Amino acid sequence: MIATLLPMMLSPFIAVDVPLARRPSTYAGAIGQFQVEARLDPLAAPANAVRWLDIVIAGQGDFASAKSPDLTRQQRFDDAFAVVAAPTMTERPEKRTYRYPIRPRSPDVERVPPLAYSFFNPRSQRFETRYTRSIEFRNLPPRTVDAGDIVDYPLPAPPSMPAPPSVWGIYLRVGFAIGAVVVITFLVVKRRRRARAGEPTWAAGGSAAVEELRKELRQARERKDVEAESRVARLAVETMGDRLGCPPGTWTAREIASRLREHGCPEESIERVRLSLASWEKSRFGRPSDGITATAEELIERLEEIERHLEDGPAT
């Protein structure tokens, strides 16, 4: 447990060399281990009204060099929303909140897609990415503005932030954090013992990105939209490359297979991923009816397999 906590406790005082190679496009300078959450307020408003999007980043590490996430680099979000002003930042112990005023680009937009946040983990010496869950909201009829009330229609004031915790509150949070570390350490040791005994350790399900891709694929099939299915396949491959730290434009079967070997993925899993990607690469140069639907579903399954391996770590 001490070996687990020591790098995180000393990270503000020890310079960490962050490599320039393989940096994800969503990396904003954070160093440590973090989780990310998104919140939207209000959930029901006129379609042309400004909403407040909070991105909450919590965990152990160094926020000193971290910048606010650049949402314009995330294509699905930038296609659907406009950021109308620079974000504000509120910082509390082991937590930082960025607040963005956003407006849907179209009344048809009724969901905030999953947002990616990348950081450098000094313990594993690699970049890691976490995703928020999508947020659904409701658009009311647009509000019309005339010359008489233009002055009375500024950006809405952000909701009031809670007061900083007291000293005793900080002590309680630290105590809970230490207790959580003890419990997590116990569970990790127990899982490793089961793995050495031959019991399965991979959990069912997948990340928020996998769930979102499956949802988009179902909708594309219901609409019989072949181009949308092809786009889902491409997004699945791009997500594989992003999770493995591949530079943009290098999401080939050979490159992703090489990165999987670096992460200690079992050889049979690597071969399945390689064959699926090779099939997808060939189908890109064929007609839209040459099997894109089957390939998209297969690529999502390969992405889920990669997510499970990265979550559990190399096989012992």
Residue 293 confidence class, pLDDT cut points 50, 70, 90: very low
- Mean pLDDT on 156-165: 63
Give 131-175 as a 3 state SS string: ECCCEECEEECCCCCCHHHCCCCCCCCCCCCCCCCCHHHHHHHHH
Buried b (16+ CB within 10 A) or exposed e, 116-127: bbbbbbbeeeeb
Range among 42-46, 209-213, 260-264, 309-313 with highest mean pLDDT value: 42-46
pLDDT tens digit string along 91-149? 888 889 999 999 999 888 989 999 999 888 888 888 899 999 999 999 888 666 555 54
Packed helices 292-312 and 226-243: angle between N→C axes, nearest 10 degrees: 20
Q: Report d(CA 43, CA 280) in Å as an integer.
A: 38
**Contact (Cβ atoms closer than 8 angstroms) between residue 142 and residue 103:** no
Q: pLDDT per residue over 23-62, tens digit each? A: 888 888 888 888 999 999 999 888 888 999 999 998 888 7
pLDDT of amino acid 60: 85
Query: What secondary structure does DSSP assign to the chain, as a single string?
Result: -HHHHHHHHHTTTS-----STT--TTEEEEEEEEEEEEEEE-SEEETTS-EEEEEEEEEEEE-TT-----GGGSHHHHHHEEE-S--EEEEETTEEEEEEEEEESSTT--EEPP-EEEEEETTTTEEEEEEPPPEE-EEEPPPP--GGGSTT--PPPPPPPPPPP-HHHHHHHHHHHHHHHHHHHHHHHHHHHHHHTT---PPSS--HHHHHHHHHHHHHHHHT-HHHHHHHHHHHHHHHHHHTTPPTT---HHHHHHHHHHTT--HHHHHHHHHHHHHHHHHTTS-TTTTHHHHHHHHHHHHHHHHHHHHH-S--
User: Which pLDDT band, with edges at 50, 70 and 90, does 157 fall under?
Assistant: low
